[in-house]
């Protein structure tokens, strides 16, 4: 399910976007993609009732030597497609803000993002194990 954008919202979003630098616009786009790609991690049963799916394994994507925070989020989302990214939004947003607004080094932020995604995956596996 998704929310339809009203003309007023569309106009406001375009206005704000026009004020951003290119890197800030990329950050905004990454957050929008992050929100749009949220997954539930629950597979429907033949009867239509949700049933826990088998615990999927991460799909490792190699970390490039030089990587932007936005690309790291996309890489980690591809590595852990089974995670509900909305549950990580506060943590990833805070880290992105530290990088963009406070000048924290990308490498440090990416290291922490890797920890965030891995710890959420570990909790995901634990929760699935306790359901079975």
Mapping DSSP onto H, E and C, the string for the chain reads CCCCCCHHHHHHHHHHHHHCCHHHHHHHHHHHHHHHCCCCCEEECCCCCEEECCCCCCCCCCCCCCCCHHHHHHHHHHHCCCCCHHHHHHHHHHHHHHHHCCCCCHHHHHHHHHHHHHHHHHHHHHHHHHHC
Q: Are 41 and 53 in contact (CB under 8 A)?
A: yes
pLDDT, one tens digit per residue, over 82-102 is 999 889 999 999 999 999 999
Check whether 124 has a pLDDT greater than 50. yes
pLDDT, one tens digit per residue, over 19-61 is 888 877 777 777 776 666 655 444 444 455 455 556 789 998 9
Structure confidence at residue 2 as a pLDDT band (50, 70, 90): very low
Domain ranges of the chain: 27-37+59-132
Cβ-proximal residues to 125 (8 Å cutoff; 6+ apart), any chain: 55
Say what the pLDDT of residue 19 is.
Answer: 87
Mean pLDDT value across the chain: 81
More confident residue, 13 or 108: 108
Instruction: For residue 120, give both structure tokens.
Output: 């959420």
More confident residue, 9 or 101: 101
- Residue 42 β-bridge partners: 52
In residues, how long is the chain? Answer: 132
Say what the pLDDT of residue 132 is.
Answer: 57
Say what the pLDDT of residue 117 is.
Answer: 96
Q: What percent of the chain clears pLDDT 90, i.e. is strictly above it?
A: 44
Structure confidence at residue 116 as a pLDDT band (50, 70, 90): very high
Say what the pLDDT of residue 26 is.
Answer: 77
């Amino acid at each position: 399910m998704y929310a339809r954008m009203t003309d007023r919202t569309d106009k406001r979003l375009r206005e704000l976007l026009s004020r951003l630098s290119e890197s800030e616009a990329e950050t905004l786009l990454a957050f929008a993609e992050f929100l749009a790609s949220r997954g539930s991690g629950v597979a429907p049963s033949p009867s239509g009732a949700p049933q826990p799916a088998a615990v999927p394994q991460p799909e490792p994507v190699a970390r490039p030597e030089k990587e932007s925070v936005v690309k790291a989020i996309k890489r980690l989302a591809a590595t852990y497609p089974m995670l509900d990214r909305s549950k990580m939004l506060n943590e990833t947003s805070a880290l992105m803000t530290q990088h963009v607004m406070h000048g924290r080094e990308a490498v440090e932020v990416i290291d922490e993002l890797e920890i965030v995604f891995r710890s959420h995956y570990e909790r995901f596996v634990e929760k699935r194990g306790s359901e079975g």
